[in-house]
Chain A
């Protein structure tokens, strides 16, 4: 029965492979890929509810008992993220139907998206360290293809840097795995956790944990975010939205897993370093967000700010803060994708990404303008919307943990988020319109409907916080009590 756990990876991979044979039949590609993602959404929702009744579930591949085989482990945290991933991917696919263009669609766009989603889901579900590395590579190779697909000059320039930095971080990942295997002799996450808990976290293990922090910091854009704004502003809108919504979040997930399951015994070193990195990320991201006039750059720096914000929750590591981080992670995946889609639509409609070259858009595109306004409020954390729950819980956790500097930095960064987005809103949507009535490009329904869907999801997450609360509470309970996870995997 637990075989269902492998579906979020297997369905996208299988459909992706099948679609390679239908290169020129675009309609088949579109509907099959959408159907695959939607079925993953349904399955992950079903599994999420199953976990509430039966606890953490696991699937041993080939019936090899852990720690000898590889396995998938599903707890509430993984499945909440798988569910959010598939919702975001489905909406981005719908946007891609109307915006990506026939040329890219014929060059295997949909198979690459499906493979990337499979890699992301695999990273969320796996219970084995080397398997995590492989899933990261599946995701990254698909993302290399997606960032270069189309082959325009800016894309090629930025993708060289993107690929190089990811090769480097994958190398650090391998080195960290080698050290950990040399020290403890196993790669199964639960078994590693048990060994570390029994023998204690020696200084050597703390060093290895910091190596992991470096790896996932590079992937997630925590402090080491220098590659991110360039790479995220060159690909087509639907791809940028997928990247902004999903890729950095996998790094954040891995960091949460590592530092709540394995390396939580010496928080005065590891969690302090995470806290310092998160603080500097918040400052750097805030400065970047107000420094640029290119919409895509501003939004990419907003991704960086959110990474810092979520990691404040991990640095504090009280139950409330962890819960807040989970809320904020889910919210941020949805809202960042929406923000990238709206900004991409604005760039496509006006033909320029510079905010001082467009104005008065609200006159011709009122729906787009108000959607942007709602998303802006959600990101800033205005109460009825989705960003509020996460912010208040992280704030509460920071007060309990006595991390007042981090608290101040994260609250001030909210103001910078609001200011940077308000600057886009005032410059681009308000003011005199510069295009005459005849030149106005009509806004296609296919562009606006995905934005409406994501905004609705954000409002729903804000108002329906009570319905999400049990799942998030269970996820936070598993993260703060590693023995729930270890017992479920090693079956004692």
Chain B
């Protein structure tokens, strides 16, 4: 099971890298979203995908899945959600200000 998820993560990372290297700002933001999905899947896999009950004490089960990676992922999801929201608004403002979403047209810091 781990191997399958690792391959899936690899596919996500390659898609994200491809998107990240494009010129369009929106594609780059999509790239960051896919990238964070890959990271969260990887954390989940690295904690081990053994079968066990959900980590809730009321459950009648003797083994539980590892609760720590789930907490880490939850934290990371919220952070990347905030960053993505900021990045989207930033792209919107940039488009308003410069009428372009092509990064190669936005080179240089000299304000003409």
Contact = CB atoms under 8 A, between A and B. Distances in A.
Given A134-B75, A137-B79, A157-B94, A171 B46 contact: no
Contacts of A154: 109-111
A148 B90 contact: yes
A137 B36 CA distance: 14
A4 interface: no
Interface in A167-195: 167-168, 170-171, 174-175, 177-179, 181-182, 187
Interface string B13-52: 0000000100001001000100110010011011110000
B33 to A, nearest CB: 10
A157 B79 contact: no
B47 to A, nearest CB: 7
Give the interface size bracket for A toward B.
20 to 34
Contacts of B94: 156-157, 160
A233 B108 CA distance: 11
Contact of A181 (B69, B90, B111): B69
Interface in B58-99: 68-69, 72, 75-76, 79-80, 82-83, 86-87, 90-91, 93-94, 97-98
Given A148-B90, A182-B47, A163 B83 contact: yes
B43 A174 contact: yes
A73 interface: no
B83 A167 contact: yes
Q: Which of A157, A168, A170, A181 counts the most B-chain CB atoms under 10 A from its CB?
A: A157
Contacts of A179: 46
A157 B106 contact: yes
Contacts of B42: 174-175, 178
A230 interface: yes
Q: Which of B35, B39, B68, B109 counts the most A-chain CB atoms under 10 A from its CB?
A: B109
A144 interface: yes
B103 interface: yes
B11 to A, nearest CB: 15
Q: Which of B20, B82, B90, B91 counts the most A-chain CB atoms under 10 A from its CB?
A: B90
A292 to B, nearest CB: 11
A52 B83 CA distance: 40
A489 B76 CA distance: 26
B46 A158 contact: no
Contact of A164 (B32, B36, B39): B32
Contacts of A156: 90, 93-94, 97-98
The B interface, classified by DSSP as helix, strand, loop or mixed, is: helix
A141 B85 CA distance: 11
Nearest to B82: A141
A153 B32 CA distance: 23
Contacts of B79: 134, 137, 141, 170
Nearest to B84: A167
A153 B39 contact: no
Interface in A135-161: 137, 141, 144-145, 148, 151-154, 156-160
A181 B43 contact: yes
Given A151-B93, A164-B32, A175 B39 contact: yes
A132 to B, nearest CB: 12
Nearest to A174: B39
B83 to A, nearest CB: 6
A130 interface: yes
A177 B43 contact: yes
A157 B69 contact: no
A175 B10 CA distance: 12
Contacts of B109: 154, 157-158, 230, 233-234
Contacts of B87: 160, 163-164, 167
Interface string A222-258: 0000000010011000000000000000000000000
Nearest to A186: B68
Contacts of A187: 68
B47 A152 contact: no
Q: Considering the complex of A and B, which 3 residue pairs feature the smallest CB-CB distances, nearest first?
A: A182-B46, A174-B39, A178-B46
Interface of A: 130, 133-134, 137, 141, 144-145, 148, 151-154, 156-160, 163-164, 167-168, 170-171, 174-175, 177-179, 181-182, 187, 230, 233-234
11 contacts: A141-B86, A153-B97, A153-B98, A156-B94, A160-B25, A164-B87, A167-B80, A168-B32, A177-B72, A178-B39, A181-B43
Given A141-B86, A154-B110, A157-B109, 4 more contacts: A130-B75, A160-B103, A164-B87, A178-B39
